[in-house]
Amino acid sequence: MHAFATRLLLGAVLCSAPAAWAAGCPGKDEGAGIRVPDGFCAQVFAQDVGDLRHLAVGADGTVYAALSSRRHGGGIAVLRPRGGRGELVGYFGAVQGTGIGLHGGYLYFGENDRIVRFPLASDGTPQGPMQIVVSDFP
C-alpha cells in the first residue's frame, strides 16, 4: 500500500507541476497503477523515496516530501525534476511528522509536538540549524 501511495502522490505532483516539465509527460502510466481521466496526464515521478505524508512544490519544481519516518537520518526528502522524473537530492533534517510547506525562504515542517523551519539555500536545499517556531502543543 505504501509503495502505491508513494507513486500516486508523486504522480499527482507531476499533474500539478510547472508546465515546463509537465509538458513532457507521455500520457497515462497504466503500468504504475495510476489512472486519470482523458485530458489529464500522470506518470511515476519517483519511487522508493520513503513513507510520504505531505508534499510541497517550490516555484522551480523542487519537490519537498515530509516522511513519516526518517530515512538515512532525514525526515525530509528533496527531489528535483530531471527529464520528467524526480532526481533525489538527499534527505534532510532529523525530524519526522506530517505537514510541510514553503514560505519566505523557509521550509516549514510539522512534527507531532512542534513546528520547525529550515532556511533554504539559494539552490533550494534545506540548511541548518533547524529553528523551532512553535513547541509543546497541548
Give the HSE-up count for residue 16: Cα atoms under 13 Å, Cβ half-sphere: 10
What is the distance between the alpha carbons of residues 138 and 128, in angstroms, rounded to a whole number?
A: 27
C-alpha cell at 75: 525526515
pLDDT exceeds cutoff 90 at 137? no
Residues 18-37 have pLDDT tens digits of 454 445 555 555 566 777 77
Query: What integer pLDDT is reported at residue 134 of this predicted model?
Result: 85
The model scores a pTM over 0.85: no
Residues 87-135 have pLDDT tens digits of 999 999 989 888 999 999 999 999 888 999 999 999 899 988 888 888 8
Query: What integer pLDDT is reported at residue 30 of this predicted model?
Result: 59
Give the residues across from 71 on adjacent strands.
74
What is the distance between the alpha carbons of residues 124 and 138, in angstroms, rounded to a whole number?
A: 33
pLDDT exceeds cutoff 70 at 11? no
